[in-house]
Amino acid sequence: MPAIDLPFSRPEYDRRLAKVRKAMADKEIDVLFVEDPSNMSWITGYDGWSFYVHQGVIVFHDRDPIWWGRAQDGNGALRTVWMSPDNVQPYGEQYVQSTVRHPMQDLAEILTRHGYAGKRIGLELENYYFSAKAYLTLEKALANATFVDATALVNWQRTVKSEEEIVFMRRAARIAEVVVDGIAERMEPGLKKNELVAEIYRDAIRGADGHWGDYAAIVPLLPSGTDAAAPHLSWDGREFKRGEATFFEIAGCYRRYHTPFCRTVFLGKPPQYLVDAEKALVEGLEAGLEAARPGNRACDVANALHASLLKAGIKRDARCGYPIGISYPPDWGERTISFRKEDETVLEAGMTFHFMPGLWMDDWGLEITESILIRDNGAAECFCDRPRKLIVKD
């Protein structure tokens, strides 16, 4: 059964596979096991809510990849991957959450059958989806193999986006704009947070410009007042209050491609310290955007931002950006490059980032961010087109 609706063209998948194989060869990896669902999807097109069980893609140098996962999810693989049905090889239900056997025993049998029991096997060791038990089980079952840390090997191949990918991110940006516009319109004193979040999800899933919305890898984050000092609080049933700022960290998502976009809303007249912080933050953002050019380094963006903030008396040394693209929960970042002072990665045209210089102070917070595309010439392009400012509703 062929895939019903591949997100990308076959040449696009061929391009990706060639990049991964070259990276494997550079690290002398004979076969690669990829368990990150973002990387699985990027290589094969697989898309399903199945990352709570062990699954992965086996990448060879000389044959098409194998999708491997729970038997129950095999039909999902048949409907979403570009490979032939013979390359969908699920394991039995007896392995699922068993206390007496482990799915990695089945994976070891597949690798042995293909002649890799004593070879160099790449594994994404630092990953949300690969457990210590999984590694120990493979180590025991493949005692003669050499395991190579291939953490982020595929992620690094994803940093420069193709034109096909950028189209998806632009669609996600339009969805993000709809969400932020809805927040600004609906938010008012007395409205319960959960009620606004329900509308956020409604806007995000309905999509924009005729394109449907996917679920984002991170839930909406919207702490208010002194809680805004904590960047990762979600929502509850409390009401929005006059005299408080609330930042909204959301993303538009289209076919798993994310465009994050954050704005802060103040109900009433904002205090002077917040007005001053807004001015400094916007100036820092604009300085960072000017520095985000091909040939410059990731640290140049961070340094431009932080120098501008420091002029206003705001000391901020933390990471202020990360690469974005295809992703699954619990994170929409790519986990490679960071906008911070020690990262000297050279920027290239086609790279995409969430430029995210949030301010989280002792008893207040402010987020004004941009998702950006590194262009061939000039400063970075912002995916979203909305005023770069604190949204005030008096």
Residue 237 pLDDT level (bands cut at 50, 70, 90): very high
Asked if 174 and 231 sit in the same domain, the reply is: yes
Assess whether 188 and 307 both reside in one domain. Answer: yes
Same domain as 86, residue 54:
yes
Domain count, the chain: 2
pLDDT band for position 2 (cuts 50, 70, 90) = low
Q: What is the mean pLDDT of residues 319-335?
A: 98
Q: What is the mean pLDDT of residues 106-122?
A: 98
> Which H or E element spans position 66?
strand 66-68
Average of pLDDT values for 85-114?
97
Amino acid at position 159, single letter: T
- In the prediction, which pLDDT does 317 show? 85
Side-chain-facing half-sphere of 263: CA atoms under 13 Å: 21
The pLDDT confidence band at residue 126, using thresholds 50, 70 and 90, is very high
Q: Give me the percent of the chain exceeding a pLDDT of 70.
A: 99
CATH of the domain at 261: 3.90.230.10
Do 90 and 167 reside in the same domain of the chain? no
**Domain housing 211:** 163-393
Span 308-326, mean pLDDT? 94
Q: Convert 59-89 to b/e letters by CB count within 10 Å (16 or more is b).
A: bbeeebbbbbbbeebbebbbbbbbbeeebbb
Is residue 84 helix, strand or coil?
coil
R_g (Cα) of the chain, nearest Å = 22
Tokens of 370: 């941009």
**Pairing label, strands 66-68, 56-59:** antiparallel
195 lies in the same domain as 49: no
At CA 277, angle to CA 273 and CA 282, rounded to 5? 155
My answer on whether 85 and 167 are in the same domain is: no
* 167, two tokens: 């189209």
pLDDT at 364 over 90: yes
Does some domain include residue 2? no
- Going by DSSP bridges, is the β-strand pair 31-34/120-123 parallel, antiparallel, or unpaired? parallel
Q: Is residue 1 part of a domain?
A: no
Q: Are residues 135 and 167 in the same domain?
A: no
pLDDT reported for residue 394: 87
Is residue 44 one of the residues assigned to a domain?
Answer: yes
Average pLDDT estimate for 164-188: 98
Same domain, 124 and 262: no
Residue 205 has pLDDT above 90, yes or no: yes
Average pLDDT of the residues of the chain = 97
- Among candidate residues 120, 142, 157, the one where a domain is terminated: 157
Q: What is the pLDDT of residue 45?
A: 97
Domain of residue 86, CATH code:
3.40.350.10
Residue range 330-340: average pLDDT?
97
- Show which of 157, 175, 197 is a domain's final residue: 157
Q: Is residue 252, in this structure, part of any structural domain at all?
A: yes
Q: Are residues 53 and 73 in the same domain?
A: yes
Between the CA atoms of 149, 155, 156 and 157, what dihedral angle is there, to the nearest 10 degrees?
110
Q: Are residues 187 and 125 in the same domain?
A: no
pLDDT grade for 285, boundaries at 50, 70 and 90: very high
331 assigned to some structural domain = yes
Q: Is residue 5 in some structural domain?
A: no
The reply to whether 372 and 349 lie within a common domain is yes
pLDDT at res. 143: 98
- Backbone phi, psi, residue 357, to 5°: -90, 60
Name the domain boundary from 100, 124, 157. Answer: 157
- The 10s digit of each residue's pLDDT in 254-276 is 999 999 999 999 999 999 999 99
